[in-house]
Structure 1
Amino acid sequence: MEEKKIDRRVRKTKRQLRLALTELLQEKPIKDITVREIADRVDINRGTFYLHYRDVYDMLEKIEKELFAEFNEIMQSHKEETDPTKPLPILNDIFQFFIDNADMAIALLGPNGDHAFVNQLQDIVKEHCVHNLMLVYRHSNPKHFEYFYAFIVNGCIGLFQTWLETGMKESPEEMSSLAEQFILRGIQVLA
């Protein structure tokens, strides 16, 4: 019974620390955020922070690893879908991922965000999607795949950012449908 209480308290503390970090990342870059600021926002002492993380960078790295693990699970769950002309199911899951992690997504994709995080997301999507595109459009110019991928992934990240910044008024399903239309109309270049 005591172990469950501790686990719940640890989870609650980590949730509060994450919220404080995301709020601060919306105000300033990570290099300007201190452990004291995070602890003060959560109303804990710095020692409690250090029970969980070495420093602010370690905290961000651990949160990003959790996000990447979840994002990779989404991509792997769609691995068997080999028809890139039907991206709606994976787009639904990606938009749901962003809404489920909106606090951190807004911070990481915002002006004070982590460009390495965005680059790694792009790499994960590329690994999954470009291979499938090349199977379907194998007679197209390979260099066009790179351009098409860059165009689509950067467009989708822009779409995610705008959606998050404007308060996510549309549902993930509405946004997925919109993204699918953009992708499918753009994919005609490869045909």
Structure 2
Amino acid sequence: MIYTVECSFTDSSAEREWNAFYSDEKLPALISVKGFLTSQRFQLSSGAPSAPTYLAIHTIANGGVLESADYRQNGGGNFAKWQPMITNWHRSIYEGIDLFTNVTTEQRLLISNESDEALKALGFQVLHLWATGLDRTPMERWMAISDQLSVPAHHLKADGVCVYTPMGNQLKSNSV
């Protein structure tokens, strides 16, 4: 299953500290939780103004992982300091792929919440995900990984495609 966490951040003066916390503390804590298999974080580089700025994609063994004592103790929470600055926050569980692949820093993650048409028209192999838990926002999404974007970002944006840049390599648990 795929577990996504999306948000935007409203305080530019604290954003560097927020990113350091999330990338250096939060993701390693999550990947230590039994049932978290992979974790990777992304930042929006092009897309609709309403799209969340940050996206974390985790592969989890099952939905029960998020209800476990291990998750509550080691992975969940820790956002009290940041909560007033976080907006457009959504958490969803998706099915459609078993293990999310690492997106390298040279690649881009393309996401459409409307359909697979624009991504397929560009010749991408498209991953189709459908929501099965938590916020279920959006209910469906289509993703592709691009090694190089030959299409200008404004064309992708016009087709409802958001482009996300990896903020680091994917973290993997020892069980992957």
What TM bracket, shorter-length normalisation?
A: under 0.3
Higher relative contact order (CA 8 A, sep 6+): 2
Greater fraction of residues in strand: 2
- The structure whose Rg is larger is 1
TM-score by length of structure 2 reads 0.27
Greater fraction of residues in helix: 1
TM-score by length of structure 1 reads 0.26
